[in-house]
Amino acid sequence: MQATSYWKDQLESLHHESYMWCLSCCNYDKDMAKDVLQDVYLKIYEDRASFKEKSSLKTWLFSVIKYTSIDHMRKQPKHIEKLSVSHSQIPESEIEDNEKENAFTKILEFLSAQQREVLTLAFYHGLTLEEIAPLLKISIGSVRTHYERGKENFKKLLLKYNLHTEIL
Amino acid sequence: MNVEDKKLKEIFKRGMDGLNEGTPDFRSMMEKVVEGPGRRNWFSLKIAASVILLLATGVFLIVRNKGTNSENYSLTEWNEPTRELMTFSSSSSTISTWSSPTDFLLSNDIQQIKN
């Protein structure tokens, strides 16, 4: 797919959502998200990633973003370590220190990577569970499980750290 | 989606919106993508360097092989490397009948020529 004006318009219409998904894939590292998105656009421009119309453009684009961000993360292992930390491993005092700074990011970090991805795609980007499954290359059953557990954990974390009042 | 799910979705959306301190400008990103010849030049440079390295290695191997060609001798002209250590006397018959330990490996015809 060459970056003709048609495709430029298509990409531009999805740019904000692409960046937000990219941010999520890059563990909310803004600099890395910009680099990844730039790389994704370059892949599309150079035809190294081409849209085969097997899914919607948005689903395809999100898939390219996901796997490009994985490549970037492999080059910078510190991001993988950060992502793999579960909420049970982080002391409560650490939450209290930073909750005002970035409460929502902290909650997301305590969810498992897949729960966070499924919730982001479903709640923020409005994708259906059926669309999420091929994007994350997991079965629909797994998506449903991550969705349900993610919701439960998200709810618990909001209540546990009393952060729902700050967010709302 | 039930009421509780809708509430969670709303919280989630607001939280995500709060993270967005500014989406980078699409046009400036695309300009960098289109203007990216530097990246491609670097790629071409790496390819060119690899080709030059391969050619240089090939030339070096060819030149080295040419310089180390061994000389060939006819079997009739061949002498034992230790022959010069022996003292020859024209009256002595022992030397003329002397044979090398590996002579038995040669056919009779060749032995006659040699002797």
CA quadruple A84, A60, B26, B16: dihedral sign? negative
**Counting one residue from A and one from B, how many pairs have CB atoms under 8 Å apart?**
73
* A13–B contact, CB cutoff 8 A: no
CB-CB contact of A50 with A1 (8 Å): yes
pLDDT tens readout for residues A116-128: 999 999 999 999 9
Residue of chain B with shortest Cα separation from A28: B19
Which of B16, B19, B32 is closest, CB to CB, to A38?
B32
CA B83, CA B12: separation in Å to the nearest integer?
Answer: 98
Q: Is A137 touching B (CB cutoff 8 A)?
A: no
3-state secondary structure chain B: CCHHHHHHHHHHHHHHHHHCCCCCCHHHHHHHHHCCHHHHHHHHHHHHHHHHHHHHHHHHHHHHHHHCCCCCCCHHHCCCCCHHHCCCCCCCCCCCCCCCCCHHHCCHHHHHHHC
**Residues A15-55 pLDDT 10s:** 999 999 998 888 888 889 999 999 999 888 888 887 877 77
Q: Mind listing the pLDDT tens digit for each residue in B28-49?
A: 888 888 876 555 566 778 888 9
Q: Report the predicted TM-score, pTM, of the whole model to 2 decimal places.
A: 0.61
What's the pLDDT at A168? 47
In angstroms, how far is CA B26 from the centroid of its own chain?
46
Greatest pairwise CA separation for chain A in angstroms: 52
Per-residue pLDDT at A117 = 92
Q: Which residues of A touch B37 (CB under 8 A)?
A: none
Contacts of B8 in chain A (CB under 8 A): 123, 151, 154-155
Within 13 Å of residue A141, how many CA atoms lie on the same side as its CB? 0
pLDDT at B95: 58
ipTM, interface predicted TM-score of the complex? 0.74
Q: What is the DSSP letter of A87?
A: G
H and E: helices and strands count for chain A: 10, 0
Q: Mean of the pLDDT values across residues A126-132?
A: 92
Does any CB of chain B come closer than 8 Å to the CB of residue A37? Answer: yes
Q: Mean pLDDT, to the nearest integer, of B72-89?
A: 71
Contact A151 B8 (CB under 8 A): yes
Give the E-state strand segments of A14-128 in sequence order: none
Residue A147 has pLDDT above 90, yes or no: yes
Q: Which of A41, A102, A167 sits opposite B33 (nearest CB)?
A: A41
Chain B residue with Cα closest to A164: B11
DSSP class of A89: G
Confidence of residue A85 (pLDDT cuts 50, 70, 90): very low
What domains can be seen in chain A, in order of their start residue?
A: 5-79 (1.10.1740), 87-167 (1.10.10.10)
CA angle A102, A106, A108 (to 5 degrees): 120
CA A147 – CA A115 distance, rounded (Å): 6
A41–B30 CB contact, under 8 Å: yes
